[in-house]
Amino acid sequence: MRKLAVFNSVTLDGYFTGRDGDLSWAHERADDPEFRAFVAGNAGGEGTLLFGRITYEMMVSYWPTPAAAKNDPQVAEGMNRRAKVVFSRSLEHASWSNATVMRGDLAREVRDLKEGSGTDLVILGSGRIVAQLAGTGLIDEYQLLVCPVVLGEGRTMFEGVERPPSLRLTETRAFSNGRVFLRYAAAG
């Protein structure tokens, strides 16, 4: 069975996006060479990327562009090469290479993907997708990149979750730019 992980940057006060969807804070002070190598390694890895429509539209507006290829060639290559699934009821088609739109029941679609063959699955951003799946037991791992920023308001990945997952810390890694990577396995 394929594993499903979530990877998101979060603030010290627990938000994965600021008010009105602002994510500029997640890219500040990213000049640490060790951190940039970590990001490039993650993006260049294997795994099918899962997005909600909002995150997909943000990602497709940048990663397939010449600016992304110039500014971050390793990450752009990985993002463009990997298979992508977009969960949306309003998006007609996905224009990004290797992308497919799914419109059915989210939990059932993800369960079918996990039971299928292929590489593991990674949700990037997509807080509504994470919140809908968090209580289902379908997410195997949460990878959080804590950024040294306090927003005071925004959205958490777990808004509206009725049955929060039980988690077990399996890895930590601190970077000189103040970011801390935390990996949690689903404990239940």
Split into its structural domains, the chain has a count of 1
CATH number reported for the structural domain that contains residue 43 in this entry: 3.40.430.10
On the question of pLDDT at 41 being above 80, the answer is: no
How many residues in total does the chain contain? Answer: 188
CA distance 122 to 118: 12
C-alpha–C-alpha distance, residues 95 and 53, integer Å:
12
Quote the CA–CA distance of 187 and 17 in Å, as a whole number: 26
pLDDT tens figures, 75-94: 899 899 999 999 999 998 99
The model's confidence at residue 44, banded by pLDDT at 50, 70 and 90, is low
- Tell me the two tokens of residue 141: 């791992």
pLDDT at 101: 96
pLDDT of 188: 66
For 99-121, what is each residue's pLDDT tens digit?
999 999 999 999 999 999 989 99
Q: What digits encode the pLDDT tens for the residues 125-167?
A: 888 999 999 989 999 999 999 999 999 999 998 888 888 889 9
Distances (CA, A) of 2 to 5, 114, 116, 117, 155: 10, 5, 7, 7, 28
Which residues neighbour 6 within 8 Å (Cβ) at sequence distance 6 or greater? 122, 123, 130, 139, 141, 142, 143, 157
First-last CA distance in the chain: 17
Rounded distance between C-alpha atoms, residue 8 and residue 52, angstroms = 13
Query: By residue range, what is the domain housing residue 181?
Result: 4-186
pLDDT tens-place string over residues 7-23 = 999 999 999 999 888 88
Whole-angstrom distance, CA of residue 104 vs CA of residue 94: 16
- C-alpha–C-alpha distance, residues 14 and 159, integer Å: 11
Q: Look at residue 32 in the predicted model and tell me its pLDDT.
A: 80
Task: Give the other-Cβ count within 10 Å of 141's Cβ.
Answer: 18
